Each structure stands twice: as structure tokens, then as C-alpha cells.
Copies of this chain bind each other. A is one copy, B any other.
């Protein structure tokens, strides 16, 4: 107890344990948190799978509970305990951060916020309880905890590639969104009034256009008229080129980024391992980024 209070006073040490992952206490903390996240995901999955017909507070006191019902209650109790622990963790994270805003607006900070706040509201809206699964993203840190540097490095290359592609992809998405609006509208004009057609309004038709252009093709909405099938065919053949563009953008970025960083984090000139974030190869001075 005393130790905990001491730790709470030593913000720097606490920050190190919670945010870093390079000594025994900090790695233990990370592993415990990851384990808790996995348990939390498993609980939510299991709970949602247990369908109990009559599930009310009343039934608990009247000893009419089935085994499934009892398991469900145990799981829900576990979920609430985990929720409290996660809330404490979130408060600690904010408390020990030197620049609180910078943590709260970081990727993992936003994830934690979205996973924690709804749980406080889940007393009123029970469905919000599942928002705690947002924490699944934190599992990506496993490579850092396990000190798998090759994976961290490759992940960094991927992240850089996607960042570099972002501007092109945003421009492209705006074009795709305009396109699906137009295609959806045309389709609604063709199939809208036809009896038996599932194109019941423009938003649904746009949804169909997205399903088709991305080649997902659920088949919940399909054209029934010949003209509709003809337009669909055109859209699909067009989709061939449409789907090729983001692939091309990302491929070009990854090829470019790999060339800069070297394959598997090796210098493209001397083929020796480079440090992560390094701008120049420390062996031969080759510019890396």
C-alpha cells in the first residue's frame, strides 16, 4: 500500500512503468494490460453469444436462473470489474503524463478515451459496454513488448508507406464518392420503380454502388432488369480499373519506402542493419530517408 502511494508520488517512475516497455516492471505492466484486454474481448464475445430468454434482475432473486444465465451474470460481473480497472488505468495515464493533452490526442490516447468513457455511460446504455473492445488496437504493441525489432521496423516502413500514400488516397476517395453517388442515382432511375427491385431509394442505391465497385458483392441488392444488369456490368468492368488505383498507389509507396530503408531494415548500399528512425546509415553514411 505504502509502495503504491510512493509510486503515485513519483510521476516520472510511474510514467516509465505505464508508457515504456524496457525493464521488468514496465514490461510486466504491459503484459498484464494485454492479458486483461484479451480476457475482456473473450468475455464480450462469449457474453454476446449466450442468449438467455428471460434475463432480468427479477429472475435472480427467484432462483429461476438457468446455468447459461448464471454464466452470463458471472461474465458481466467480470466485465464490470475489468471496466473499473481500465478506468483506473486511463486516469493514471492522464495523471502521470507530463503533457496531458499530447497523450489524450495521441492515437492510443483517443482509443483509450473511446474505450473508457462509454463504459461509464453503460449503466444507462448497456450496449455501450462493448466499446471496451476498442482496446483491441492496443494489442499491436505486442511487438514492442516482446522486443521483436524486425517487426517494429517493418511496421514502421508500412506506416510510412501508408502515410506517404495518404494524400493521393484522399483525392482518390473523393473521386470514388462522387462516382458512387452518380452510379447509385443512375441505377435508382433505372430500377427504382420496377416491381421486385430492391433499389428502394437513392442511399440504398449508393450503398449498392459501393458494394459493387469495391467488388464485395453481397448480392443483397441486385439488378433485375436487363438495362440494370448492363449498367452493373459496366460498373464492374470500370471497377477493375478503380480497384487497381489504390493498389498501385500503395505499391509505389512501399517500393519507394523499401528502397529508401533497405529491405528488412538493411542499408541499400552496405546491406548492414540500420537503426529505426535513422536518417543516415551508421556504417557507410548512405542517406536513408
Residues of A in contact with B (beta carbons under 8 Å apart): 41, 44-45, 48-49, 51, 127-128, 130-131, 133-134, 136-137, 139-140, 142-143, 150-151, 154-155, 157-158, 161-162, 164-165, 167-179, 181-182, 185, 188-189, 192-193, 200-204, 206-207, 210-212, 214-220, 222, 226, 229-230, 232-233, 236-237, 239-241, 243-256, 258, 263-264
Contacts and interface: CB of A to CB of B under 8 A. Distances in A.
A106 to B, nearest CB: 16
Given A130-B202, A142-B174, A249-B254, A211 B185 contact: no
A162 to B, nearest CB: 7
29 contacts: A48-B201, A48-B202, A48-B203, A130-B189, A130-B202, A136-B178, A136-B181, A136-B182, A139-B174, A140-B175, A155-B171, A158-B172, A162-B245, A173-B237, A204-B229, A210-B237, A212-B216, A214-B237, A214-B239, A216-B217, A240-B243, A240-B246, A241-B250, A244-B246, A245-B250, A248-B251, A248-B252, A248-B255, A255-B255
A216 B206 CA distance: 16
Most B-side CB within 10 Å, residue of A157, A192, A219: A219
Contacts of A155: 168, 171
Contacts of A232: 207, 211
B171 A203 contact: no
B240 A174 contact: no
